[in-house]
A and B are shown apart, each in its own frame.
Chain A
Amino acid sequence: MLILDNIPALLVAIPLLASAVVSLLPSARIAWGFAFFTTLICLYMAFELVGIISSTQALSYAFGGWEPPWGIVFVLDSANVYLVLLVAFVSVIATLYAYTMLAREIAVEDLPKAYAVWLLAIASLFGLAMTGDAFNLFVFLEISALSSITLIALGAGQDRRALLAAYNYLIIGAIGATFYVIGVGYLYAATGSLNLIDITDRLNELGTNQAAITGLAFMLAGIMVKAGVFPVHIWLPAAYSYAPSAVSSLLAAVATKVAIYYFARLLFGIFIDITQLVDFFLLYILMPVSVLAIFYGTIAAIYQSDFKRLFALSSIAQIGYITFAFSLNSHSGISAGFIHIINHALIKGALFMAVGIFALGIGSRATMSSMQGVGRQMPITFAGFVLAGLALIGVPLTAGFISKLYLFKAIFETGNGFYVALIALSSVLSVLYLWKIFEVMWLKEPVQPLKIDKEPASAYLPVWLMVGVIMIFGVYSGEVISSGIGAANALIGAR
């Protein structure tokens, strides 16, 4: 009972405390075991949390027992509880994957500390997903940024460009975070509160003014940097492509998703009072930007020969799909966005993991020229990779199909054929780069023997776990769909 009541706090506190312990452990293996066990506990707690939310609808956890506007609260409802579960699930799989992969890219002596930072990154994602306090979010944003930067920079063991990627992320991320803080400051001056729900109430009471609107705009801008939304995505491709593969798979799967969730929460949850402005922002700014993101990401991916960079660019396009769904500003649009958040996290996680295994196999970066015929040499991983790729396009019986289906459904509701054509065109374009990869990896003859004897089971097992979930969600999609609809209900009410 003690545990059940305090799950929201424990979800953050346990990985934090575990990371302090892990950083002191002498052996890499024990450190991994400890980290993995911690993520398993988190997954269990996340499941419990889903159970609690499905019976109580919403939950507010006050830290230190201080009630909302005075203390810090974690808010849980059907919008973020599935996100918490997603983060917990992906972190378990990614930690499992890290056992083989991180050890090959990071020196053994550094591994315990690396796992400690890894746990900090996971803890901060839980915090970001749950916090209901504007300033507390900034703190978690910074824990997340610093831990991700450290992990990305460790990729310099393989490629020195990782250092530049990490530095760029640090500078751009810090600008974003500072913009966010400026926004919070304006909003605080206008309302006197830091609690997001209380801010909404206060704005309704006092009325919005220029200061509050500017505050919101700066907060959104800061979050957009973290979420990798198109014009401010510039840190993302390099960061994901030079990070160690385990790190790319964790970050690409969930780090941006959490920021996007918060972006949606700010847009639809807080500023009820200024609907007109939000409508304007969605229609005239977010929508064109999302369409640009989709086409920029897809077309740049077609011309890219480095696999990891290619998938990072495709992430920008996929984030574009999510923000596009939000910009439709309808119940079905928001549900489609949330469904795609979950599906894309699983798909992209699986793809990055598979690419990491290929790179391990050939002993150098995975590019169009170095990967010739590798699919034939590593059939088990390649099969999982192909299935995840099909899901990315949106082929029926995969989770990606469900995302596209609901996206189209939301677009049809607007009755605008132009959008339908745009999204269909972009899907066709994404077939191009995936076909290119398939052609190189399967249809060409292998050019060199593999550097490893056989595919490591501990590395492809996580890929297949992810792919398994993708396929299950493609067939039994009820849970994902209801989570998306639940999220939309929580954010804008059951319209």
Chain B
Amino acid sequence: MNGSALLPWMLVVPLSWATGTVLLAHRRHAYTHAFNTVGSLLLVALAATLYWVTREHGPTTHALGGWSAPLGIGLRADGLAVTLVLLTAIVSGACGWYARTSERTERQGKGTSQRYFWPLFWLLITALNGIWLADDLFNLYVGLELLGLSAVGLVALGDGEASLSAALRYLMAALLGSLAYLLGVALVYASYGTLALPELAGLLSREPITQLALALMTVGLCLKTALFPLHGWLPPAHGVALTPVSAMLSALVVKGSFYILFRLWSDVAESVVTPLAAQALGALGAGAVLWGGWQALRESSLKMLVAHSTVAQLGYLFLFFPLAVGTGASAAALATQGMLLHLVAHALAKSAMFLASGTLIASVGRGGVSDLAGVGRHMPMSLFAFGLAGVSLMGLPPSGGFNAKWLLLQSALAGGQWLWLIVLLSGGLLTAGYVFRVFRESFRDPDPGGGRFTTTPRAYDWVALALATLSIALGFASRSPLAFMTNGLAVMVRGQ
């Protein structure tokens, strides 16, 4: 099997399913459910094949339209891109399963607008795969817009007024962010005459215009990744959306813009970035870890707590920059590995945590953390899934989260940057604080008159548990996927 021939199907399949679900939107649910199940399974199968083929035969590219870059647009499948494609297929498959179960059981009385959940779901996946595989600066812009608009649409499908204001706020941030990015693209094209990333990697130099372009793209992408202090839009959007949507937004969507930032800084504009800018990004990341964790501790609504936890966990990703820029080869390699493992482990753990939270809320009937009293005895499975995910987020062994934070820690030691150690450790403590807070409430005796729980579908628990288990399993077997992911990356080893 040829990896290059497989690549475009990662885009064609979700796009076809998006179109198909628009056309099927008013058919009986049995049809759409069967159609969507087939789509998710097909996507997982294709992604797994692509992963396997790339592992066996190495990275591939695909010249779309038969025109090679810079005239045409290329796709590129290296270890990292392929891993993220597989991650997307798995997480979206799980969330899709959860959504189908919820449609089957809770459909009565809900707004019918959720018919159009599925087209947006597939458009979101198209955008994500487009971004993971992209190899062109402007193509990434279109992918970013598709990602942003479909995510905003999904948020707007939630119930009532709050979801609309959250969607609007999200949209305003997304629009500003992508325009900043586009402005950077304009400056790059004017100065270098090409948009293809591989070519630009060899051309970019530390001109003022290039630095401005990179700064603009960085600010735009940070806004879209909700880096502190530009994170204000994230908690309402992720907290108010439908449960499977929250899971996909936190697990995958915010990673899309971060991934572009990582590619730009490490692959393309290596010669333009400065250690000072990297330290600044790291400082903001540290701010996110502390502020997001603190907010999660104080948050009264369960889903908002998990959303604030996303703000904090995204902060860890940004510690990559100070740990890798200008610190020497070994520290940079460790930082890259730690950050990428954190990205994957957080995606699995956070989607599990959101799904488990949604199940708990469905069972209790209310969304407050203090409403959970007594749920521990009634919903042990959901709480177990929540706890497993929490273990990975806190960075306790054995889990993917632990290995990731361990690698980041080692990188900090190797580079002699002690300050980031403190951030890593206090972030872990804050995470432990809010996860245990949920547990404490859940095992409290319910108030008199409370403690009535609805039974939720079994599938809810299985899906959350499967994702949480994967995030733990990553702690036992992270070496080989990591080696595959970082293989072929031009890590910033050429630093000072």
Q: Determine if chain A interacts with chain B.
A: no
Residues on B facing A (Cβ under 8 Å) = none
User: What residues make up the interface of A, taking CB atoms closer than 8 Å to B?
Assistant: none
